[in-house]
Structure 1
C-alpha cells in the first residue's frame, strides 16, 4: 500500500494519536511551545490508562509491539503469547487472542506487522521466527530465517537478543526484522537487519537483503517502522540499574548499505568511512541520523516508579506510525512501554510528532 494511502487510512481510522490518548484516561500535556524533544520530535501526550489492568482474565501488559489493523484499530502484542485489539479512540481493549507455536507452546512474541490481507506477522525471540497468523489467531506458517541468525547452538544469535522489531515497508513487498543484539563473532554494537521480499504482488515472502546497523554503546534495537524509499524509524533502548532507561529515535537509510547476507563476520568498519578490513572489507553500514534522545522530552508531569533520568521514560519497546500531521509534513507515531508485569515499571503509551526529512 503506498504511504499516502496508508496514512490516509490510518488518519481516518485513528484520527490523531493525540486524540486517542486524550480519550484514553489520564493524559498530561504541556503547552505547544514546550512539547519539543528536539528540532525533529515533539511529544503530544502520554497515557498510563492500561497500566496493571486486565481484560478477559488476561493481564494487559508486557506490550512489546504495536501495529495498525486494516480497519484502523490498534493491535498490541504481549511477549506473553497474547495479541490485544485496542479501541482506536480510548485504547481500551476490545479483544484478546492467545498465540502459540505449531505445537501449541507459548512464544516470546515481540513484534508484529499487518499484511495487506490482514494476516498478522509476529516475531518470536526464542528461535527466532516470523510466524503468520490469521485474524482468529490460527497459525498459517512461518518465514525462512538464515541459519546465522538462529539462537546458538543452531546459529550465532544470543538468546533474548533476536527479532525484537518488525515492519512492513510501504508498498507491502518488503518485510524487515531487526535483531536486538549482536551475533557472536560480529563486532560489538553492530546488529543485523533481515529483509524478505515478496515477488509477483501476492506471493510468499522470500529471504532477501540483510544489512548491518550500528547501535549506540549499551543500546539495542527494539523496534523499527518502515518509511518510503527504504528508510526506517529505528528505536534504540538500553537500561542501567540505578539510573534508568536510555531511549533514542533515529532515522535510518538502507539504500546505500551493503547486503551482508553472505558476510560471515562484521568487524564494524564502515566501508564508506574507513575502507573496511578483514572479512567485511568495503561493507557499508546503514546510515542513521539522530532525531531525538527522549531524555530531552518534557516530562509532562509523569512520574516514575524507579530511578529514571526523565520520569517520562520507561522500558519503551513498541512503535507504529498512526497517521500524518495536518501540516508541516510530520508523522504521528505511537510508542508503548513493556512493564514486564513488574510493579516498578509502567505500561505507558506516548504520542509523538516526528519530522524525518
Structure 2
C-alpha cells in the first residue's frame, strides 16, 4: 500500500504539537516540567494505546522518524510502518514490511533518507534494508561478519541493531547494537557506521560505546552538531524500567573495526558520554502505570526522534513499545533537551 498524506502536515505543525502543556489544548501556555538541568518534559500521550488502524494493531512501536512532509513515520517491530499525523498522532496509513522471502521482520531501527526511501533494521540477522515508501525492497546493506548473530557471528540473539540514524550531511549512517558481542566486555557495545557511495552505503568506522551496567541501547539519534543522543534502557521484574538519556561524542573515539575483543585493557578510546537525565526524575504529569514502575511515566521506551532544533535546544519525541501486552502502554513523551 502506498503511503498517503491525508493531512498536509509540516515541520511547523510538529513543533506546535510538542508545545502543548501536559493537559492543555493547542494554544495553551507551554509548561516546562524539569527532569534535570538539561531536560524537561512538556506532556505525554497515550492516545494510540491498544488501538488498531486498517485492521493492524497500532503498537509494538520501536522507532520514530520525521518524514519529508513533516508527518511522523512510526515503525512496529511486527513488520509494519505507520504514517502518523504529527499533531494528533492519528495514523493516516500503514505499510506492511517483509524480507526477500516474504517473511516478517523484527524491525527495530528507522531512517527516512533524503529521497524519501526508508532504511530499516531487522534484529534477526541483523540486517539493514532500503524500502520504497510502498514497502518494496530496493537494497540491502552489507554487515560486518562479527556483528551477525551467532553462529554466523558473535552477536547475541535479540541484541543487535536497535538504533539507526543519519549523521548531519547525510553521508554517514550509524547503527547501534543493543548489547555487547560475545568476547567483548558487557559494558561495551559497538556502534557501526556506513559511508554513502552514490546510491549505496559501504561499511565504515566502528566505535565502542560504554553502556551502564545492566542496560542496553534501544535507540540513537544524531544531533545537528554531529554528536549523538543515546537512550539506555533496562527492565527489572517487580521494579520496572530504567531509562537514561545521554549525549555522546564519537568524534575522538577509536575505530574498533579491527579490534577482535573489547575489554577494559584493549587500549580502545570509547565514545565519550554525558548524562542528560535519568527519566525516573521526570514529573509523572498524572501518568499511570499498569505494572510496577519507579515512576508511572516510565514504560519500555524504544523509539526516539529529534523533531526540532534551535540554539542548542532540541525537541525530542519518545515512544514506548507495549509488546502488545496488557500491562504495558504505547506512550509518546515530548521532551526538550539542552545540549
TM-score range, shorter chain: over 0.9
Q: 1:17: Cα distance to partner? A: 4.0
Cα deviations across residues 246-272 of structure 1 (Å, max 9, x unaligned)?
Answer: 0000000000000000100000x2xxx
Give me the CA root mean square deviation.
2.1
Kindly indicate whether residue 222 of structure 2 is the aligned counterpart of residue 214 of structure 1: no
Query: Are 1:285 and 2:278 matched, yes or no?
Result: no
Gaps of 5+ in 1: 1-8, 270-276
Structure 2 CA distance for partners of 1:290 and 1:22, relative to 1, 3 Å: closer
Q: 1:11 offset after TM fit, Å?
A: 3.7
Paired position in structure 2 for 1:77: 75
1:177 pairs with one of 171, 175, 187: 175
Alignment of 1:309-320 (within 5 A): 309-320=294-305
Structure 2 residue aligned with 1:331: 314
SS of the residue aligned with 1:15?
Answer: helix
Match of 1:305 in 2: 290
Q: Does 1:167 align with 2:174?
A: no
1:323, 1:260 → 2: CA distance?
Answer: 32
Q: Does 1:14 align with 2:10?
A: no
Deviates more, 1:164-173 or 1:11-20: 11-20
Relative distance call for 1:76 and 1:253 in structure 2 (3 A) is same
1:192/1:213 contact within 8 Å kept: yes
In the alignment, structure 2 segments of 5+ residues that lack a partner are: 1-8
- Give the CA deviation at 1:228: 3.5
Cross-structure match for 2:141 = 143
Among candidates 251, 255, 259, match of residue 255 of structure 2: 259
Which of 276, 279, 290 is the equivalent residue of 1:294? 279
Tell me what 1:3 maps to: none
Question: CA 1:37 to 1:10, structure 2 compared with 1: closer, same or farther past 3 Å?
Answer: farther
The aligned residue for residue 34 of structure 2 is 36
Q: CA deviation at 1:329?
A: 3.1
Partners of 1:160 and 1:96 in 2: how far apart?
A: 25
Q: Tell me the residue number matched to 1:273.
A: none
Cα distance per residue 1:205-237 (max 9 Å; x no partner): 110000000100110000000124431000000
Partners of 1:31 and 1:115 in 2: CA distance: 32
Q: Which residue of 1 aligns with 2:50?
A: 52
Q: How far apart in 1 are the matches of 2:39 and 2:10?
A: 20
- Give distance in 2, aligned partners of 1:10 and 1:285: 38
Structure 1 residues 31, 83: closer, same or farther in 2, change over 3 A? closer
Distance 1:143 1:322 in 2: 26
State the alpha-carbon separation in 1 of the partners of residues 284 and 55 from structure 2. 33
In structure 1, the partner of 2:96 is 98
2:177, 2:17 → 1: CA distance?
27
SS in 1 for 2:34: coil
> Could you say what secondary structure the match of 2:12 adopts?
helix
Q: Where has structure 1 moved over 4 Å in runs of 4 or more?
A: 19-23
**Is the contact made by 1:30 and 1:300 (CA closer than 8 Å) also made in structure 2?**
no
Q: Name 2:232's counterpart in structure 1.
A: 236
**Structure 2 Cα separation of the partners of residues 22 and 58 of structure 1:** 29
Q: What is the CA–CA distance in structure 2 between the aligned matches of 1:10 and 1:178, rounded to whole Å?
A: 29
Instruction: Give the Cα separation in 1 of the matches to 2:233 and 2:149.
Output: 21
Q: How far did residue 18 of structure 1 move?
A: 1.9
Cα deviation code 1:302-324 (max 9, x no counterpart): 00000000000000000000012
> SS of 2:18's equivalent?
helix
2:287 alignment partner, SS class: coil
Q: Deviations over 1:312-356 (max 9, x none)?
A: 00000000000125xx63110000000000000000000000011
1:89–1:45 CA distance, 2 compared to 1 (3 A) = same
